[in-house]
Amino acid sequence: MSLNSANKHLPKSNNRIQLNLILIVPFVLQIFAAVGLVGYLSFKNSQKAVNNLAEQLIDKAGQQVDDRLDMYLALPIQLTQINVDAIANRELNLNDPIASGHYFWRQAKAFPHLSYVGYSLIDKREAGAGRWIKGVDLVLYENLSSGKASDYVADAQGKRAKLLQSYDFNPLTEPWYKDTVTAGKLTWSKIKAAEIRNSQFTEAGKALQRQDNSLDNGLDYYIAVSAAAPFYDNNRKLLGVTSIDLALTSISDFLRHLKVSPAGQVFIIERNGRLVGSSGNFPILYKVNNQVERYSIFDIPDRLIRTVAQGLQKRFHTLQAIQNQQEFNIVFNQERQFVQIKPWRDKYGLDWLVVVAVPESDFMAQIHAHNRTTMLLCLGALVIATIIAISTSRRIAQPILRLSQAAEAIANGKLDQNVASSNVRELDILARAFNYMAQQLQESFQALAQTNEQLEHRVEERTADLTNTLQELQQTQARMIQSEKMSSLGQMVAGVAHEINNPVNFIHGNVDFVHDYTESLLELVQLYQSEYPNPTSAIAEKISDIDLEFVSEDLLKLLTSMKLGTERIREIVKSLRNFSRLDEAEIKEVDIHEGIESTLLILHHRLQPEPGAVAIAVMRDYATLPLVECYPGQLNQVLMNILANAIDAIEEANTHRTSGEIQANPSQITISTAVIDADWIKIAIADNGLGMTEAVIQHIFDPFFTTKPVGKGTGMGMSISYQIITEKHGGKLECFSTPGKGTEIVVQIPIRQVNSQIST
């Protein structure tokens, strides 16, 4: 029922005081005036403070990065010039790589952020020192004129402690070397990875290589920018190039130590967008196809840098267009970021862009102070409004209290509540509406109880459906397991038959030849005896020892027995192969009798008597049957299940019979076949076991039904057989049994399957 229909049932009350005249007007005027004024002033002050703080902080951060970068990149230039002067003044002996390495070791030790310092001569000889291998403080480097370079661990005195690795490296082909020689002066090189080949690690080097599994260090990931200068002899003939490397990982470490703001980030890029260094946590290097590459700001995993890159592209279209300092804002993770980008150039060839990104939260302290002031103002307004409202609330407190007590009683189950009317018009309407809703609530509870009963009934029905579905799934699972077992048995039987067949054929094929050879040899012996009736004493003694007359008679008998044995084995192998039917998934025209005999052969060991047991005779009454279209493997599975059950029934019956009863009524299985109405064939398998009652017969084809002890059967054999015959072959499977006399299982299937495709 809607609110409008409820109002129609309430009596009209026009001579009451309206509640909105007492409460709404004073509250609205006071709160709107106070909050509106404070909100307006707070908005203006906050907006001004945010812009001022952002401008100051981003300028300060940018200037700090600029100053520190000037100092950081000035050192390699100064040291390179010092090394050129040292070579010119012969303070550095170019013919003594060990002394030169010690000289550079002292420089690398004094300035920890240098990645490499050294020289390269025009004959490929090199000497240097630095830190480019993870886990080693300082490394000494030497390259012979043959181009074979070596890295050594430096001890505390700067001497070579142990060899780490050797590799092929030609400095004369490196871009930094060729560019420096071409420039003929001190210059910064292009950023490029070192190209080394044929690395050979010592045991110490292998241990370090196993530790060096990241992109933050290691020669495999050595990418640097070099400050390099050529040096000449007195005749201005080029002697070589001295250089100082700053690895990009070192530049990133330098940027991480710059505290521009609590959560600010700084990164340096080239004009092509490739990263030079970043204070973020993501590496700027990655490896693809065994080549080390630098991330571009447009594809780096760092989402903040990618967001800044999108802002740059949207604002400037190309990085080449940025020629002076620029500021703009972006939104990242639902927070405003203030971004400053400015070019950084020097006279030695560097032209980079330095980007500083500072989140708004880093300078919100003053804003929070303003917000606190705003909250205090609002609190004052609320206090004043509360004092004014106290007198008003007292006039409406009592009726509302009575209403709440009645509502609490209804919540506790006491639905027969009635609230007295009030002098306030709105409260009077509320009381009447409450009384009306209490009545409606009683009616609704009654309807709800009826609905609940209906729902419970539907839940029970749904539960029953789910239970049936679960049983069907369990049956399907069991059928699949049984089918898989039979498939595995068929594959195993086929494999065994194949392995036995080859040697048996070989033996069988040679028995006739051995028989012929033996007859020839015996004829030769007889001829020899007739021609030489008086053998020597030694020959006569040997003839007597081996009993030649018995051997002559028995040898041919043995060969005949061997031939009969091999023929029996060949028959067994043929039956095994027929039973296996590896192509059971296809419909084929098969000889039903052949399948029956193959199955009997598999069960032959159960039909033969064991010590203290009685053999089970198999009586065959076969009619002349045509070839039948069927799934051979599945039909063999049905025959196996039926015959195995018949044997089980006979064995169980024999445990309850005496030997005299067994002799009077021998254990036997009768198998008969026949053609029915020219289109169907029938296979009847009967036993003289215990038999079954009518109650058992009604459930024999049910899944999981078995009369065998626990562990002797799953109860799925006859269920699967029934499914194979009725669903796969469109046939019939029937059971006839008399307790104490035996059971007969009758299989009927059509000779031709409807819409079948015969596999040849």
pLDDT computed for residue 238 by the predictor: 94
Q: Are residues 596 and 658 in the same domain?
A: yes
Start-to-end CA span in the chain (Å): 76
| C-alpha closest to that of 127 among 158, 160, 107, 98 | 98
| C-alpha closest to that of 377 among 90, 36, 718, 722 | 36
Q: Are residues 264 and 132 in the same domain?
A: no
CATH number, domain with residue 347: 3.30.450.20
> Is the torsion defined by CA of 548, 550, 556, 558 positive or negative?
negative
| Residues paired with 118 in a beta bridge | 128, 243
The DSSP call for residue 163 is: E
| Cα dihedral 426→431→432→434 (10° resolution) | 120
Residue 538 placed within a domain = no
Answer with the one of 304, 332, 363 that is the final residue of a domain: 363
C-alpha 583: how far from chain center: 35
Pairing state of beta strands 160-168 and 680-687? unpaired
Q: Are residues 110 and 241 in the same domain?
A: yes
Q: Are residues 129 and 266 in the same domain?
A: no
CA–CA distance, 733 with 746 (Å, rounded to integer):
6
CATH number, domain with residue 752: 3.30.565.10
Residue 688 placed within a domain = yes
Answer with the one of 248, 280, 303 that is the final residue of a domain: 248
Residue 640 placed within a domain = yes
Residue 607's H or E segment, with its range, is helix 604-607
pLDDT computed for residue 215 by the predictor: 35
Residue 487 placed within a domain = no
pLDDT computed for residue 438 by the predictor: 74
Write out the DSSP string of 23-36: HHHHHHHHHHHHHH
Q: Are residues 238 and 289 in the same domain?
A: no
Task: Extract the residue ranges of the chain whose pLDDT is less than 50.
Answer: 1-10, 212-219, 582-583
Residue 291 placed within a domain = yes
Q: Do the beta carbons of residue 318 and residue 157 sit within 8 Å?
A: no
Q: Are residues 144 and 242 in the same domain?
A: yes
CA–CA distance, 665 with 742 (Å, rounded to integer):
12
CA–CA distance, 353 with 326 (Å, rounded to integer):
11
With a threshold of 0.75, does the pTM exceed it?
A: no
Pairing state of beta strands 732-738 and 351-359? unpaired
For residue 517, how many other CB atoms are within 10 A of its CB? Answer: 12
Range of the domain at 331: 259-363
Q: Do the beta carbons of residue 336 and residue 359 sit within 8 Å?
A: yes
Helix (H, G, I), strand (E, B) or coil at 615: coil
Q: Are residues 202 and 271 in the same domain?
A: no
CA–CA distance, 656 with 663 (Å, rounded to integer):
14
Q: Are residues 344 and 318 in the same domain?
A: yes
Q: Are residues 291 and 207 in the same domain?
A: no
**HSE toward the beta carbon, residue 118, CA cutoff 13 A:** 26
CA–CA distance, 760 with 758 (Å, rounded to integer):
6
Residue 253 placed within a domain = no
Give residues with Cβ within 8 angstroms of 84, minimum separation 6.
186, 229, 231, 242
CA–CA distance, 370 with 373 (Å, rounded to integer):
5
Helix (H, G, I), strand (E, B) or coil at 265: strand
Q: What Rg, from alpha-carbon coordinates, does the chain have?
A: 51
Answer with the one of 248, 271, 289 that is the final residue of a domain: 248
Residue 566 placed within a domain = no
Q: Are residues 146 and 103 in the same domain?
A: yes
Structure tokens at 201: 């690690």
DSSP alpha helix (H) spans, 317-424: 365-411
pLDDT computed for residue 625 by the predictor: 92
Number of domain units in the chain: 3
Residue 427 placed within a domain = no
CA–CA distance, 194 with 222 (Å, rounded to integer):
6
Structure tokens at 470: 């679960």
- Tell me phi and psi for residue 618, to 5 degrees: -115, 115
pLDDT computed for residue 582 by the predictor: 43
The DSSP call for residue 350 is: -
Q: Are residues 225 and 318 in the same domain?
A: no
Structure tokens at 276: 């030079």
Q: Are residues 163 and 287 in the same domain?
A: no
Instruction: Say which amino acid occupies 212.
Output: D
CA–CA distance, 260 with 255 (Å, rounded to integer):
10
Give residues with Cβ within 8 angstroms of 726, minimum separation 6.
732, 733
| Residues paired with 556 in a beta bridge | none
Q: SS3 breakdown of the chain: % helix, strand, coil, rounded to 5? A: 55, 20, 25
Helices (H) and strands (E) in the chain, counts: 17, 24
Write out the DSSP string of 305-324: HHHHHHHHHHHHSSGGG--S
Give residues with Cβ within 8 angstroms of 205, minimum separation 6.
151, 163, 164, 165
